[in-house]
Amino acid sequence: MRTTHAIAVSLSLFALVGCNRIKEKLAEKAAEKVVESATGTEVDLGSSSGSVTVRDPKTGAIAQAGASVPDGWPSSAPIYPGAKVVASLSTPEGKQVTFTTTDSPDKVNDFYKAKLPGKQEAALDLGENKMLTKKDGTTSYVATIGKGDKETTVQLLVATK
């Protein structure tokens, strides 16, 4: 009798866990449809990975949160070593990656001054907030660097004309 009871409880727990996963997936799909109908975009919520991808079929733009570097990211714009990518954006005109690091804004700024190709067009230094722009032919690079409470956030933009 105890064995039968244990099996019944185990099967009930297994079914409950399975039902919760089904409920999560249904809620995820419902949320995607609400956003899609309100915005005219295609939405993919990755509940297991925590990622969100939004695609605009009209412009070809793709925005991702909890993401990785977008496909086709140019090797001329290296991602800062050890950084954690938190968001990205890709359009026909260019790409952007947002990432965080525990290094100082000065160290990150020095890295991009040395690594980004082309001629420096502008630089802004407001202490813990910095911006650097460079241009190489028809490609423009913008690094925006800011210090938060615990980490430095960087937005790196590569635009082509």
Concatenating the DSSP letter of every residue in 77-92 gives: SPPPTT-EEEEEEEET
CB environment 60-94: b (16+ within 10 A), e (fewer): eebbbeebebbeebeeebebbeebebebbbbeeeb
Whether 130 and 151 map to the same domain: the answer is yes
Residue 40 has what pLDDT?
A: 74
Whether 45 and 35 map to the same domain: the answer is no
pLDDT, tens digit, 9 for 90 and up, residues 106-131:
999 999 999 999 999 999 999 999 99
Structure tokens at 156: 């790196």
Q: Is 27 helix (H, G, I), strand (E, B) or coil?
A: helix
Stated pTM of the model: 0.67
How far is the C-alpha of 71 from the C-alpha of 82, rounded, in Å?
19
Whether 80 and 112 map to the same domain: the answer is yes
Residue 6 domain boundaries: 1-39
How far is the C-alpha of 76 from the C-alpha of 128, rounded, in Å?
25
Structure tokens at 37: 């109908």
Give the end-to-end CA distance of the chain in Å, rounded to a whole number.
75
Can you give the CATH number for the domain in which 52 is found? 3.40.1000
Whether 124 and 97 map to the same domain: the answer is yes
pLDDT at 134 over 60: yes
Among 5-14, 35-44, 80-89, which stretch is predicted with the lowest mean pLDDT? Answer: 5-14
Residue 8 has what pLDDT?
A: 46
pLDDT at 64 over 50: yes
Whether 29 and 64 map to the same domain: the answer is no
